C-alpha cells in the first residue's frame, strides 16, 4: 500500500506541466491533491478528470501565489472553506 494513501498533498502550479502531471500521480497513489494555480477553469477540468480516472476528490484553490494577502494568509494557517471540490477564502 502506498504511504501517500489518504494524505492531502498541496501542489502549486497544478494547472499545467509538471504540477498537472504530479497531481495525477498523487491521485494514482490514492492521496488527495490540493490543486493550486490561477486558472480556475483548468483546475476544475483537472479535478474532474482525476475523479473520473481515480475516484479521488481532488480539491482546488484558484489563487495567485504572489498575492501576499491571500496566499500569505493561507500559508499562515488561516482557514479557507471548501464546498464540493472548490476551496475559497471568500
Ligand X SMILES: NC(=O)c1ccc[n+]([C@@H]2O[C@H](COP(=O)([O-])OP(=O)(O)OC[C@H]3O[C@@H](n4cnc5c(N)ncnc54)[C@H](OP(=O)(O)O)[C@@H]3O)[C@@H](O)[C@H]2O)c1
Q: Does 89 bind ligand X (CB under 6 A)?
A: no
- Alpha-carbon gap, residue 44 to 39, rounded angstroms: 9
DSSP 38: S
Q: Does 49 bind ligand X (CB under 6 A)?
A: no
Q: Does 59 bind ligand X (CB under 6 A)?
A: no
Which range in 26-34, 45-53, 59-67, 74-82 contacts ligand X by CB under 6 A?
59-67
Q: Does 69 bind ligand X (CB under 6 A)?
A: no
Applying CB under 6 A, among 16, 48, 72, 75 the residue interacting with ligand X is 16
Place of cell 480516472: 53
Q: Which of 8, 64, 72 is nearest to 39 (CA)?
A: 64
Q: Does 30 bind ligand X (CB under 6 A)?
A: no
Which range in 1-9, 14-22, 52-60, 81-89 contacts ligand X by CB under 6 A?
14-22
Amino acid at each position: 500500500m502506498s504511504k501517500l494513501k489518504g494524505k492531502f498533498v498541496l501542489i502549486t502550479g497544478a494547472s499545467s506541466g509538471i504540477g498537472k502531471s504530479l497531481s495525477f500521480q498523487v491521485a494514482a497513489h490514492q492521496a488527495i491533491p490540493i490543486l493550486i494555480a490561477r486558472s480556475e477553469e483548468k483546475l476544475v477540468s483537472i479535478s474532474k478528470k482525476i475523479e473520473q480516472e481515480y475516484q479521488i476528490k481532488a480539491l482546488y484553490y484558484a489563487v495567485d501565489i504572489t498575492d501576499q494577502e491571500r496566499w500569505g494568509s493561507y500559508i499562515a494557517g488561516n482557514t479557507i472553506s471548501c464546498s464540493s471540490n472548490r476551496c475559497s477564502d471568500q
